[in-house]
Amino acid sequence: MRILSTIRKQRSRWQTGARHALAGCLLTALAGCSLAPTYHRPDIAIPANYKEASGLWAPAAPADTLARGDWWQIFGDTALDGLEHKLDASNPSLAVALSRYDMAHAYEGELRSGLFPHLGVDGGPSNNRQSNNRPLRGSNQPNEYDANTAQFSADYEFDFWGRVRNEVAAGKAQAQAADADLASAKLSLQSQLADLYIQLRGYDIQAHILADSLDAYRKGLVLTQNRMEGGIASGLSVARAKNQLSDAMAQAAEVTAQRALTEHAIATLVGVSASQFSLPSSDIQIGLPMIPSEIPSTLLQRRPDIAAAERRTFAANADIGVARAAFYPSFSLSALFGWQNTGNGSLLSAGNRMWALGPIGALSLFDGGLRRSREREAKAGFDEAAGQYRVTVLTAFQQVEDNLSLLTNLSHEAHDEDDAATAAQDAATIATNRYSEGIVNYLDVVTAQTSYLQAKRNAEQVRTRRLQASVNLIRALGGGWSGTEMKKPPTDQPVAAVP
């Protein structure tokens, strides 16, 4: 009998242990539960290579943490380098983006606090008077009494359905999107500054071209006036010379005005009042950077706007899990320990102790379709974020192709414009010499010189556009490139559906 009793006790212990283990496994399984759909990055069908270049697509994913470096140094201009560093330190729009970045990370921390128990302590003395007509008031109760309390409390919600974890995951993804937004704002402002600086230097060179032409036109006017006084030229030739000079002076004034506006825009970007900012003129041409003949699409992974759109898509997917968790009961555990008395004796005496401990469960049985509507809203939010991600990626591809095409065609255009300027210069020289010899009239000189001036300005404008297209290509690829980044992916590497 004693042996049988021992066996029964042992079996009871095993059963109790098994129940405890089963309950622990159940709680562990529930703690790892998430009602969010399995996340898949939205698919986009892409071609095998670039249309405007020989670079290949490579398996791509947001990688905006890759270093971009001081990509503008590829243009070899120390003044531009100084302005870019000043922009990083003083641009007000960048400060706004940084504030949003800080807010997003603070919100992530706010959501993450839901994973931990909340502890609190409170207490305080109070003097109270109860109404003479208080319901169920005892006859021996005093009208006035003291109530002193001191207590500790703790609350913890069991995240069985993954609501809190999905909120934290969404908050983390939104913080990562804010990181990418900050990088995107920085890259955008840097490229705007480089674009404006190149434009300003283009105006400087055009002003130099116009200044040379004005000198020639003034000499031509004096020559024509002298010839008219000698009876060789007519007043018509003098009028044409004056018209030519005045028109060139008007062009020079327009270039000066446009340069001033560009300089003011640069001042704002670097955080300086336009009234206190100036850049000295320079007619030194900015060197055209060497554009790689092959551009792998892995460079495009660094575009921070793509990373931000993808992270927001992930956050929207986690929001679906948050909405679904509302269909299930919530469980939490509350605990309280403290002391309470009516002002008599020591508050912390053993007889004044109070405590409470117990679980709390809640489930909404009817809400008029509120939870179902919130789930549909979360799904629609995911569809919107996924669509925005696809738009961002396709726009990035377009911008790369646009600027590759521009660089290719502007290179041909620049060659033709340079040839046109050389021919126009020869024609202007011949016309001027023949006019001095009295072989042609001044209309031939005016025509040739005007054509030369226009050809020179056109050539400089094309050069400026080529430099700006280089900046825009760098921006479209998410930053500059280096030798290690330009490694071509293997030709047998599978093409990804998502860049």
Residue 23 in tokens: 């309950």
Amino acid identity for residue 309 in this structure? A
Question: Are β-strands 144-158 and 330-341 bridged in parallel, bridged antiparallel, or unpaired?
Answer: antiparallel
Give the mean pLDDT of the chain: 83
Q: How far apart are CA 373 and CA 48, in angstroms?
A: 42
pLDDT at 337 over 60: yes
Q: For 276-303, what is the mean pLDDT?
A: 80
Residue 14 in tokens: 């095993």
28 vs 44, higher pLDDT: 44
- Confirm if 440 and 395 have CB atoms less than 8 A apart: no
pLDDT at 398 over 50: yes
Residue with tokens 């060197």: 287
- Confirm if 206 and 465 have CB atoms less than 8 A apart: no
pLDDT at 239 over 50: yes
- Helical (H) or strand (E) element with 357: strand 353-362
Q: How far apart are CA 20 and CA 33, in angstroms?
A: 20
Least confident of 228-232, 295-299, 479-483: 479-483
- pLDDT value at position 133? 84
pLDDT at 468 over 90: yes
| 43-119+161-210+260-329+370-476 placed in CATH 3.10.150.10 | no
Collapsing DSSP states into helix, strand and coil, what is residue 48? coil
- pLDDT value at position 32? 56
β-sheet bridge partners, residue 125: 148
Comparing CA positions, the residue from 308, 336, 268 lying closest to residue 183 is 308
DSSP string, 194-245: HHHHHHHHHHHHHHHHHHHHHHHHHHHHHHHHHHHHTTSS-HHHHHHHHHHH
Give backbone dihedrals phi and psi of 53, rounded to 5 degrees, phi first.
Answer: -155, 170
Residue 119 in tokens: 């502890």
pLDDT band at 495 (very low <50, low <70, confident <90, very high): very low
Q: How far apart are CA 469 and CA 462, in angstroms?
A: 10
pLDDT in tens, 365-394: 998 999 999 999 999 999 999 999 999 988
In terms of Cβ atoms closer than 10 Å to its own Cβ (0-12, 13-18, 19+), residue 428 is buried
- pLDDT value at position 452? 92
pLDDT band at 441 (very low <50, low <70, confident <90, very high): confident
Using the CB atoms, write b or e for 320-349: b if 16+ within 10 Å.
bbbbbbbebebbeeeeeebbebeeeeebee
Give backbone dihedrals phi and psi of 69, rounded to 5 degrees, phi first.
Answer: 70, -170
Neighbour count for residue 202 (Cβ, 10 Å): 25
pLDDT band at 2 (very low <50, low <70, confident <90, very high): very low
- The pTM for the full model equals 0.78
**Who's near 454: CB < 8 A, 6+ residues apart?**
424
DSSP string, 469-490: HHHHHHHHTTS---TTTTPPPP
In terms of Cβ atoms closer than 10 Å to its own Cβ (0-12, 13-18, 19+), residue 259 is buried
Q: How far apart are CA 143 and CA 149, in angstroms?
A: 20
**Who's near 117: CB < 8 A, 6+ residues apart?**
154, 155, 156
Rounded to 10 deg, the angle between the 235-269 and 78-90 helix axes is 40
β-sheet bridge partners, residue 157: 332
